[in-house]
Amino acid sequence: MRDLAPVLLDWYDRHARDLPWRVSPAARARGQQPDPYRVWLSEIMLQQTTVAAVRDYFLRFTTLWPTVKALAAADDAQVMSEWAGLGYYARARNLLACARAVAAAGGFPATRAELQKLPGIGPYTSAAISAIAYDQPETVVDGNVERVVARLFAVETPLPAAKPELVALADTLTPTGRPGDFAQAMMDLGATICAPRKPACAICPLVKDCASRAAGIAAELPRRSPKPEKPQRHGIAWVALTDDAVLLERREPKGLLGGTLAFPSSGWDGTDLPAPLEADWHSLDPVEHVFTHFTLRLDVRLTCAGGAATRGVWTPRHEFSPLGLPGLMRKVWTRAERALRD
């Protein structure tokens, strides 16, 4: 196979996506260097999350905390609140831990090995930061790149078993010159042309080199092993509110939805707790939510009574915003609001 880096980089110079955390090829050619903080923040946010979902969060975070030192000094509860809705809340906890470690050290390290010692930074993220922020010749393989490589080399081994082979093949493509731009070019190719369904092969810059296109199986790759059915859990969430306040609790720092603001709940997360106060609770339709390893059916109980609570804190209504809740609890609030309207 010919050297594909010049071909792909030429395409990237003309078609790179405009993303708020990215330094464009033209700007890099003028000498502008990527900010490691912005690269790191975007990569953490993008883990298991789409670009469309991340964009507004990234802009809000970098407005509130424009540097890693600013984020390191941030209040934990505010960061968790701003993160609400992005999911995978261990990322937010690791985000703060990493920011504080980097601030204490005086900045981000440049090498993959040193980056990987920081909280929340694994093999993929360390490679991405090292390549994109510091132009180190590291191979960056996300889901988009896996798809490009599987099709380019016609790898028919199903994912996830194919991952080591795809990384090794991707490594053969990574150039020593402009590796950061090359990594982003591979991501952009997968996101915009080598799409999961109906790849636009006719306008792909690598179509002449694509083994799966030649074999007529591009749209079938990468193959995937069947996913096992997720187990289902059940639980209860209690929504207590008065004209002036809402009963909320801060979940334990570790574990499911760790560190987030939530309605008192039980039964689905390893706890077995009673209702947070004595009241006439009305049963509402349950909400359903999908986590990484299980699905959840959460019964919703509602009361408009106040009183002394065994769990949680009465939060003034004017200080409460459902936007500060994780996605599961937003669903619970929506269910309660609907019941109140009806």
List of E strands, the chain: 232-240, 245-250, 261-262, 265-266, 282-290, 295-303, 313-316
Of the candidates 224, 247, 203, 253, which has an alpha carbon nearest to the alpha carbon of residue 76?
Answer: 253
Query: Which position among 43, 82, 138, 146 bears the catalytic label?
Result: 43
> How crowded is residue 44: how many other Cβ atoms within 10 Å of its Cβ?
22
Beta bridge partners of 239: 302
Angle at 144 between CA 57 and CA 288, to 5 degrees: 55
Beta bridge partners of 295: 232, 290
Taking the C-alpha atoms of residue 36 and residue 33, their distance in angstroms, rounded to an integer, is 9
Contact 164, 171 (CB under 8 A): no
d(CA 130, CA 64): 25
Helix axes 90-105, 36-46, angle to 10 degrees: 160
Tokens standing for residue 114? 């040193």
* Whether residue 43 lies in the annotated active site: yes
Report the distance separating Cα 299 and Cα 186, nearest Å. Answer: 44
Among 203, 212, 210, CA closest to 14: 203
The set of catalytic residues is 43
